[in-house]
């Protein structure tokens, strides 16, 4: 059963979802206690960001033990209960797997750095310095500076794509691949239904350690313009063809465990669609990937259409997991400059995303229309933001706690102080406040997602775009002879265009667009869905 195809996957950032023990940080019991919200919303699965044992230098994306729950989030028993409850509610459970690197406190790295002859000496990317003592090549770290750190024990450099405390694993070493697959098997046997693979195209590096060439279009990157990482074409430190064999081994393991799924994160770049096509085409690698095209969208129709059509051309048999927001980017409501119109724009943007051919990753709070929070420097937690402040304020603005109520602590915690501040504008958009209002973003998103399930072509069908007025996206989804016209007005103007012959307005989804007199009529920031009959 391909449950993942067309699924709505609700991303939960555990630190910020719900705090059950009053320490100001969310945990697994808190997540379990709020799963009804996800099921009622109409999602099909949850994706849990890392909860593994970690020194938390990068908030769990620096793993110290792949097979243990960090005490900050609870116990393995808490995790098992969460999975059981999710399954009882009809939700699949996907977890984040951070396979490209570990924490520098991981026992593998502690042993690897002892000397050059220990059993794990080759488990990480080590290299000798150049004759002048400088790093072995020009590779950079996303989090600032060079991508190499000198280690006095081995008198060598080790590679780190991210923080210095996140050394990169050596995927050219068969024992490393075998050990990582063993950790995946551990969680499969605990009942998880799939994995989100962090930085999936970073796994393998060029064994010859060749220099990256300069990037003539540095804007084509998922890093801020002020970050010199974007000034290179990363042809040797990531996206290597050797990665494909590992992905095939990974998929084979999942296939042996039944109806599981995988979604890989591929960063923005000039060849993103080619990579996604390679990673998801056929049935031997990943089930789906997501890129950064919609994650960087500013709500303009033409670039969204271009991104979708580019992917369709590059990978007609591949499958994308579209996302508008997540824990790494500025929230979509702010990028779309829609803070004052979130009750309109949040349902519209989510309906658009979940109507595209593919699956969807819906980030916690997106259904509430939350804007990006403004976290002052003295309260900043993100090391990425601290390194590039003030040009880039980091990722804390999209990671602030989920507002369940409008109270001072938003129903998130009983602690005196949550780990990140909760802005007043978020409390005003709380789940409790919106649940009482049929016109709220939350109520409208819920109405649409449940209606979407009644149209199988919106879940699994093909897609074909139609010409449309400026500011609008118009396409049809088709499956087994059933066809639905989907039209979205992303502008502040009333739009109209000639409707396809036989188009009949569908209702029940909560949007005001309609077909009348052979014309499709779209009020500002509204959508239209029409039955086109059998094709």
| Burial of 80 (C-beta count, 10 Å sphere; 0-12/13-18/19+) | middle
- Could you give the C-alpha distances from 523 to 131, 303, 348, 488, 494, in angstroms and in order? 67, 21, 12, 10, 5
The pLDDT tens digits along the chain (535 residues) read 799 999 999 999 999 999 999 999 999 999 999 999 999 999 999 999 999 999 999 999 999 999 999 999 999 999 999 999 999 999 999 999 999 999 999 999 999 999 999 999 999 999 999 999 999 999 999 999 999 999 999 999 999 999 999 999 999 999 999 999 999 999 999 999 999 999 999 999 999 999 999 998 776 667 877 899 999 999 999 999 999 999 999 999 999 999 999 999 998 777 888 899 999 989 999 999 998 889 999 999 999 999 999 999 998 899 999 999 999 999 999 999 999 999 999 999 999 999 999 999 999 999 999 999 999 999 999 999 999 999 999 999 999 999 999 999 999 999 999 999 999 999 999 999 999 999 999 999 999 999 999 999 999 999 999 999 999 999 999 999 999 999 999 999 999 999 999 999 999 999 999 999 999 999 999 999 999 987 6
Determine the pLDDT at residue 535. 65
Q: SS3 for 459?
A: helix
Pairing of strands 156-159, 148-151: antiparallel
Phi, psi angles (nearest 5°) of residue 119: -60, -25
**Per-residue pLDDT, 216:** 83
Kindly list the structural domains of the chain, giving each domain's residue range(s) and its CATH number in brackets, ordered by start: 8-103+171-451 (3.20.20.80), 461-534 (2.60.40.1180)
pLDDT for residue 221: 65
Instruction: Report the distance separating Cα 369 and Cα 311, nearest Å.
Output: 27
* Annotated catalytic residue within 198, 237, 293, 312: 198
152 exposure class (CB count in 10 Å sphere: 0-12, 13-18, 19+) = exposed
**Annotation says 278 is catalytic:** yes
**Res 267: pLDDT:** 81
Choice among 19, 64, 193, 278 that is catalytic: 278
Exposed (0-12), middle (13-18) or buried (19+): which is 170, by Cβ within 10 Å? buried
Task: Give the pLDDT score at 509.
Answer: 98
Q: What pLDDT, on a 0 to 100 scale, did the predictor assign at position 220?
A: 60
B/e letters for 97-125, b = 16+ CB within 10 Å, e = fewer, are bbbbbbbbbbebbeebbeeeeeebbbbbb
Does 242 qualify as catalytic in the annotation?
no
Residue in 154, 143, 145 with CA at minimum distance from that of residue 101: 143
Query: What is the per-residue pLDDT for 225?
Result: 79
């Amino acid at each position: 059963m391909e449950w993942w195809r067309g699924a709505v996957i609700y991303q939960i950032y555990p630190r910020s979802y719900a705090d059950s023990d009053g320490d100001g940080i969310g945990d697994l019991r808190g997540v379990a206690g709020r799963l009804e919200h996800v099921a009622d919303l109409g999602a099909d699965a949850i994706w849990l960001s890392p909860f593994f044992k970690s020194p938390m230098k990068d908030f769990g994306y620096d793993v110290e033990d792949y097979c243990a729950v960090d005490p900050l989030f609870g116990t393995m028993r808490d995790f098992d209960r969460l999975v059981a409850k999710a399954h009882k509610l009809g939700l699949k459970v996907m977890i984040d797997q951070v396979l490209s690197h570990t924490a520098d406190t991981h026992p593998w790295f502690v042993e690897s750095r002892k000397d050059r002859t220990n059993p794990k000496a080759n488990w990480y990317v080590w290299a000798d310095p150049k004759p002048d003592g400088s790093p072995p090549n020009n590779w950079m770290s996303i989090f600032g500076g060079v991508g190499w750190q000198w280690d006095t024990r081995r008198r060598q450099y080790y590679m780190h794509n991210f923080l210095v405390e996140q050394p990169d694993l050596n995927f050219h070493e068969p024992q490393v691949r075998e050990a990582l697959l063993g950790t995946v098997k551990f969680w499969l046997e605990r009942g998880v239904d799939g994995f989100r693979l962090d930085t999936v195209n970073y796994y393998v590096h060029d064994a010859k350690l060749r220099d990256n060439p300069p990037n003539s279009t540095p804007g084509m990157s998922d890093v801020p313009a002020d970050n010199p990482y974007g000034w290179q074409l990363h042809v040797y430190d990531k996206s290597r063809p050797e990665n494909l064999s590992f992905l095939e081994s990974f998929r084979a393991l999942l296939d042996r465990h039944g109806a599981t799924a995988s979604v890989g994160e591929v960063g923005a770049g000039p060849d993103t669609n080619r990579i996604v096509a390679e990673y998801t085409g056929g049935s031997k690698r990943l089930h789906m990937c997501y890129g950064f095209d919609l994650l960087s969208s500013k709500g303009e129709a033409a670039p969204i259409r271009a991104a979708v059509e580019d992917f369709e051309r590059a990978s007609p048999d591949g499958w994308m997991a579209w996302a508008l927001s997540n824990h790494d980017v500025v929230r979509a409501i702010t990028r779309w400059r829609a803070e004052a119109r979130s009750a309109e724009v949040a349902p519209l943007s989510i309906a658009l995303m979940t109507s595209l051919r593919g699956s969807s990753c819906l980030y916690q709070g997106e259904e509430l229309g939350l804007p990006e929070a403004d976290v002052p420097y003295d309260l900043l937690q993100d090391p990425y933001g601290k390194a590039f402040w003030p040009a880039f304020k980091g990722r804390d603005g999209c990671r602030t706690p989920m507002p369940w109520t409008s109270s001072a602590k938003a129903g998130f915690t009983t602690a005196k102080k949550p780990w990140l501040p909760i802005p007043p504008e978020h409390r005003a958009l709380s789940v409790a406040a919106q649940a009482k209002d049929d016109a709220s973003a939350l109520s409208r998103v819920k109405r649409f997602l449940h209606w979407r399930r009644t149209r199988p072509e919106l879940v699994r069908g093909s897609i074909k775009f139609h010409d449309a007025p400026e500011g609008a996206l118009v396409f049809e989804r088709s499956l087994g002879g059933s066809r639905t016209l989907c039209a979205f007005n992303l502008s502040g103007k009333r739009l109209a265009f000639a409707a396809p012959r036989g188009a009949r307005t569908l209702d029940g989804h909560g949007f005001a667009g309609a077909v009348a007199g052979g014309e499709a009529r779209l009020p500002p920031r509204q959508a239209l869905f029409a039955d086109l009959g059998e094709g």
